[in-house]
Structure formats: C-alpha cells, structure tokens
Amino acid sequence: MGVAGSLSKTAAVEKAGARTQLTGLVAAGVVVMLVAFAGSVAGLPRAVLSAIVIAAVLPLVDLTAFRRYARVRRNDFVSACLALLGVVLFGPLNGLLLAIAQSIAGLVYRSIQVKIEPMGKVPGEKAAWGSRRRHPERRSPHGILVLRLSGPLFWANANTIDDRIMAAVDEAGTLRAVILDLEATSQLDTTSADVLGRIVDRLQGGGIDVYLVRVGRAVRVLLRRDGLLDRLGEDRLWHSISAGVRTAKKAAAAQDREETDVEIGEEELAIEDDSIDGDPIEEDWPDEHITTPHRTEEDDVDVDYPWRRPRPRAGEERDWVTEDGANDGANEVAGEGAEVSGWDRG
C-alpha cells in the first residue's frame, strides 16, 4: 500500500506492480531520497502530478457496473451517478456523505410505498391465499375482506397504510369483518401501534369485526403492552388466514342467529361460502389460535414463554403448562416425528 494509504496512492502503487506490504518501506525510502534532491523536482508542474493520479484512479471507474445498474434497476444507476458527481464536485468525503444520505432517503421512500393487497382463496389449494390483483378467480367469503401488507408497518408509512386500508374498506362496500395479515411486520413502534389501534377502533365503531393473522411474537408482546389486545380480544388473533376467516364466518353466523332468533344448523355456518373453505382447519386445533401470556411487574425481562421452551426429544416427557402457570396434568411422551403445537412455534 502507498504511504498514507489514500485511494489515489494505493491505486498508483498497485498499477506499478506492488503486491506486498514491503511497498510501504520502499516508498518511504524513495521519499527520503527525494527530500535530499527537493530542489530538482520543485519546478515539476502540478499537471504532471494530476495526470499520475488520474491515470491511477481512472481504472477504478467501472463503466460495466454502471451499464448493469441501468439494465437491472434504474434506482441503483441514479444512486451510482449521484455518488460519482458528488465525489467529482465536492470531494471524496462529501461525495460519500451525499451518497449515504441519498441511500437512506431512498430506503425510507421505498418503505413508505407499501401496498395493501386484497387476498382471495386460491382454487384447488387446501389453505392457500394469494393476491386478487390480476386473479379474479380468487375469492373471499361474502362480507369478509382479507388484506395483506406487502411490507412492514412502521412510523414512516403508518398513516399511508391507514389511508389505504380505509380506502379498501370503503371500496369493498358492506362488510362484516376485516382480516389483516401482518406477516411482513416483524416489530412495531409506538406510532404504528397507535395507528393500528385507530384502525381497529374505527372499524369496530362501524360494526366491522377485526382479526389479525400471522402476527409475530414481538408484535404480540408490544400490542399487549399497548393495551390493544385487551380492546381487540385474544380470540381475534390467529396463525393462519384460513383460521381467521373461519372464525369470522362463524361469528357472523352467530350474530345473524341472535338477530333473527332462528335456529341455524351446523351445516349452515359456512354462510354459503363452503366452497372457499376446503381446507381442513378445525375448531379445536390449538396450532391455529395465538395466545399471548399476560406479563406482570414481577416478571423478568426474559419471560419463559411456553413457545420458547426447547422441543422435547423422542421418549422424553413434557408437562403442558396453562397460561396461568398451573399444570393441567396432561403429561405426554414425545415420539419420533412428534408434532409441535402452536405453543412451541410461537
């Protein structure tokens, strides 16, 4: 490497054939000898030194990479051009800071562009749901709107997501329930939790039930602390879209039965959408329902949540502990290939 290790010096010695760190000692010796003959090089034009630097640095400009950026993704090409202009006009340090600022601004901008995708049951699949855009064959039950966030919900896009969810609700017409898929959101901040609570309150105030599905553990814990789960109810959180839809349909059927005071048979609970729910989701499956244990001030920060316990080995007994910490007496022995319940999966 060159003395002082700047980019131009490193490029110059590399182009001269340097391969080891011994180059630094040789360069230092050359500098000492030049100091003794400083008068003979004092009249050397600066243009000569500039030409040496330009000749050394020019190969570092990878024009092939620029062409690839332009072909693959336009935003990357714009970022590279901005960084190049920043270095040329303002110097390496200021140009680098400009490129970093532009990258951060681009990241925030892309995070704000979260789409709200209406979801529908994929025909021929047991429990698969996909976007209904460009797929009119995918349907959702009458009166139930399933929405998926294409990106994480956080402070920068919370208000935008609020507006888009309410616009989708208004466009859907008369609704009985809205199911929000939060799989893309791994964690929430206070601002996004407030916006999510505002969405829930507004929908519930309009007589629309709200269900949250595929909610991660960190999000559940924050919603518990924020108090939103107390307002929403633990029975409104589910691991899968199919389970949330099934619960919403049964709740709507039960409400209709109370309002009309007419006895409805078990086969009619599907609300004339049985063809959409061909999946084997059963009401007593513990894997489908999400439970978030209460935390008290006495709890340690690292709470021993049931789903964080190690998976038992084959032939090893395990005790099932209820949410209040009491053993229900249902010990079982895990066999080979034993299924792990929703407690262990979280």
* CATH numbers and ranges of domains, the chain: 3-111 (no CATH), 116-268 (3.30.750.24), 297-346 (no CATH)
pLDDT score, position 331: 40
Query: Residue for token digits 């072909």?
Result: 71
Q: Kindly report whether the global pTM for this prediction surpasses the value 0.85.
A: no
Average pLDDT of adjacent 10-residue blocks, the chain of 346 residues: 56 74 80 73 76 77 88 89 88 87 87 90 87 90 94 91 95 94 93 95 94 93 92 89 92 83 48 42 42 41 42 48 40 38 36
3-state secondary structure 19-67: CCCHHHHHHHHHHHHHHHCHHHHCCCCHHHHHHHHHHHHHHHCCHHHHH
Q: Which of 304, 176, 312 is nearest to 251 (CA)?
A: 176
pLDDT score, position 278: 43
pLDDT score, position 170: 94
Q: Which of 230, 239, 232 is nearest to 200 (CA)?
A: 232
Tell me the longest C-alpha to C-alpha distance in the chain.
Answer: 109
Other beta carbons within 10 Å of 19: 8
Q: Which of 207, 279, 201, 203 is nearest to 240 (CA)?
A: 279
Residues in the chain: 346
pLDDT score, position 2: 41
pLDDT score, position 262: 52
pLDDT score, position 338: 39
